[in-house]
Amino acid sequence: MIKKDAIIIGSGQAAKPLSEKLSEAGWKTVMIEKSEAELGGACLNVGCTPTKTLIASAKVMHAINTSEIHGISVSDFKIDFDTTQKRKDKIVADSKEGLLQKNCRRRKLGIGLWNSFFQRGKNSEC
Ligand SMILES: Cc1cc2nc3c(=O)[nH]c(=O)nc-3n(C[C@H](O)[C@H](O)[C@H](O)COP(=O)(O)OP(=O)(O)OC[C@H]3O[C@@H](n4cnc5c(N)ncnc54)[C@H](O)[C@@H]3O)c2cc1C
């Protein structure tokens, strides 16, 4: 049987500070995420991270488009949207990996990352 002081349902933005605070207070806590695909919640998967990554690429495009006002002329440029998307996907994937590794470390303080079926999650071997 698994004995814990608290269960946090979901691994989104709300879960991270809560798990840290509980961990610091010495609580043995388990974080449950219903799907590995949604690890990190909306912010990481469809919200803050992907949108800001794409906005960063758009800003580069805008800077090139308006470079002439700075006396810089750039000819023959194009956007490869596939590369833009792959960059965004990698940043999201790296952040997820970071989240798993962080939870591995926290697990020593009693926090683990498990899925909703109570099977061991990806970091269970840590
Ligand atoms: C397009 C977009 C852009 C955004 N940009 C920003 C921004 O720049 N800055 C900002 O501060 N906020 C931004 N947000 C808002 C931000 O994403 C949310 O405020 C934040 O994700 C809320 O976090 P949460 O933990 O409350 O919920 P969620 O992120 O929704 O996380 C809930 C988690 O719980 C899991 N879950 C649900 N039910 C169960 C269950 N029964 N069992 C197990 N797991 C479960 C879900 O899979 C999910 O991982 C943006 C949102 C969107 C949509």
**Share above pLDDT 90 across residues of the chain, in percent, rounded to a whole number:** 43
Give per-residue pLDDT as tens, 73-102: 998 889 999 999 999 999 999 998 888 777
Domain membership of residue 71 as a residue range? 6-120
Give the DSSP H/E element, type plus range, for residue 114: strand 111-115
Protein residue whose Cα sits closest to atom 8 of ligand 1: 48
Handedness of CA 99, 102, 106, 107 (dihedral sign): positive
- The reply to whether 56 falls in a domain is yes
Mean pLDDT confidence for 6-32: 83
Q: Distance between CA 113 and CA 33 in Å, rounded? A: 7
- The reply to whether 125 falls in a domain is no
- The reply to whether 1 falls in a domain is no
CATH number at residue 13: 3.50.50.60
Q: What is the pLDDT of residue 69?
A: 97
Q: Distance between CA 122 and CA 115 in Å, rounded? A: 9
Number of domains in the chain: 1
- Return the best residue to mutate from 13, 91, 103, 115 for the ligand 1 pocket (most ligand atoms within 8 A of CB): 13
- The reply to whether 126 falls in a domain is no
- The reply to whether 80 falls in a domain is yes
Mean pLDDT confidence for 50-68: 97
Name residues contacting ligand 1 (CB within 6 A). Answer: 9-15, 32-35, 38, 41-43, 46-48, 51, 116
- The reply to whether 72 falls in a domain is yes
Confidence of residue 108 (pLDDT cuts 50, 70, 90): low
* CB of 50 closer than 8 Å to CB of 87: no
Nearest to 58 by CA among 88, 32, 28: 88
Q: Distance between CA 32 and CA 48 in Å, rounded? A: 22
Residue bearing the bigger pLDDT, 2 or 29: 29
